[in-house]
Amino acid sequence: MKIDTKKRLLREMLFARRFEERCYEAYVERNIGGFLHLYPGEEACAHGVLEAADADRDYVITSYRDHIHAIKWGADPRKVMAELYAKETGVSKGRGGSMHIFDVRNRFMGGYALVGGPFPLAAGIAKGIQMRGGDEISICFLGDAANNQGTFHESLNMAKLWNLPVLYVCENNHYGIGTRIDRSTAVVDQYKRVSGYDIPSHQEDGQDVELVYKAAMKAIRHVRSGKGPYFLELMTYRYRGHSMSDSNAYRAKAEERMWSKRDPVIMLRDRLIDEGNMTADDFKDMDTEILDYIENEVIAFAEQSPEPHISEVERYVLAENDPWVRGGGAP
């Protein structure tokens, strides 16, 4: 990987970390409501995979832990924060919230809040790509616990059966809400579970962004070349609870300490410093710059944006003035 790319990825991942930490504060300040699922610890997954994808044509869909995937896929962080602040300027016009970030112009097809819900949607996006005849791919990020939903099996079966161009990325953070994977799942290695559908799969260290990128390149080449679906399992860890309402009391401190030594941001920082491509001061400057940007641009934009007009609460339920409702579409 080029040094410039590594530096940019470090900046993006550090931005992701600081963005999410600022969300935490905003939640405590009650500027963000509802449920809030944060991404710290898992940054290398979204960044490594999406760095290997084509931002000008591929489609991305994910769960409720969706802020960072959207931003990496082109969403304006100010508009993502404005969405969390429930403002009209938010990506989903304040109607969606943290779990429903949509940025369709950039082919970010949404965050969905039913565990496992996006599996078939991603296959359907791939079906749409297939019908249009392009070589874009559909990329679906979900956690390990989603694989215990029926939609996982139903979708893998159809994706293989119809040779759909879909990459399923499993961010295995080892917990389904508060239940450790070995207490909920008979086979803890998720990549093994797809062998029953004859789909190629691979398990990778999800904390090292370069390894994730390399594995994703291989996976994406497979899918884009028309060989059908691929399943990539990334071993990772979330530093915070499942959501803000989670006391996080179910995890051993020793386990948390172990994973904190494998922090994706710190690992990449130290590598760049060891290679002589960055100094500790460079990193500090980068961090300061990011923190300033988040405060002065991102938070300021969200705070200063207007609320949606209450009179529009019934908009977007159904299509507006759809002529076929009257049976009179024909001139």
Partner 1 sequence: MTEIMFWEAVRRAHDEELAHDKMVIVMGEDVGVVGGTYKATLGLYDKYGQERIIDTPISENGYTGLGIGASFLGVRPIIEIMSVNFAWLAMDQLFNTAAKVRYMSGGQLEAPIVVRSPGGIAHQLGSQHSARMEKVFMGIAGLRVVTPSNPRQAYGMLKSAVRCNDPVFINEHELMYNMKGEVPEEEYFHPLEGSEVARQGRDVTLFGYNISVHWCLEAAELLSKNHGVEAEVIDLFTLSPLDREGIRNSVTKTHRAVIVEEAEPAVGVGAEVMAILNEECFFELDTAPVRVSALNVPIPYNHAMEKTALPDANDVVEAVRRMFGV
241 binds partner 1 (CB under 8 A): no
| Amino acid letter for position 255 | E
Q: Which helix (H) or strand (E) holds 304?
A: helix 300-304
Tokens for 127, please give them. 């079906």
Least distance CB 108 / partner 1 (angstroms) = 10
Residues constituting the chain: 331
Listed as own residue / partner, the contacts of 50-53 with beta carbons closer than 8 Å and 24 or more positions apart are: 50/139, 51/5, 51/9, 51/209, 51/213, 51/216, 52/213, 52/216, 52/217, 52/219, 52/220, 53/137, 53/139, 53/216, 53/220
Q: Which stretch binds partner 1 (CB under 8 A): 6-14, 29-37, 49-57, 93-101?
A: 93-101
Q: Judged by CB, which is closer to partner 1: 12, or 83?
A: 83
CB 207 within 8 Å of CB 263: yes
104 binds partner 1 (CB under 8 A): yes
Binders in 47-86 for partner 1, by CB under 8 A: 59, 61
Phi, psi dihedrals of residue 252, rounded to the nearest 5°? -70, 140
Q: Which stretch binds partner 1 (CB under 8 A): 47-55, 87-95, 253-261, 294-302?
A: 87-95
Nearest CA to 167 out of 119, 110, 209, 132 is that of 119
309 binds partner 1 (CB under 8 A): no
How far apart are alpha carbons 190 and 178 in whole angstroms? 18
40, 90, 229, 264: residue in contact with partner 1 (rule CB under 8 A): 90
Q: Which stretch binds partner 1 (CB under 8 A): 24-32, 242-250, 257-265, 321-329?
A: 321-329
37, 127, 222, 269: residue in contact with partner 1 (rule CB under 8 A): 127
Least distance CB 318 / partner 1 (angstroms) = 5
Q: Judged by CB, which is closer to partner 1: 284, or 315?
A: 315
Binders in 142-161 for partner 1, by CB under 8 A: 150-151, 154-155, 157-158, 161
Cα radius of gyration rounded to whole Å, the chain = 20
Q: SS3 for 73? A: coil
Least distance CB 81 / partner 1 (angstroms) = 15
226 binds partner 1 (CB under 8 A): no
Nearest CA to 298 out of 42, 44, 32, 39 is that of 32
331 binds partner 1 (CB under 8 A): no
Please report, as ranges, the residues that interact with partner 1 according to CB under 8 A. 59, 61, 90-97, 100, 102-105, 109-110, 112-114, 117, 119-132, 138, 150-151, 154-155, 157-158, 161-162, 315-319, 322, 324-330
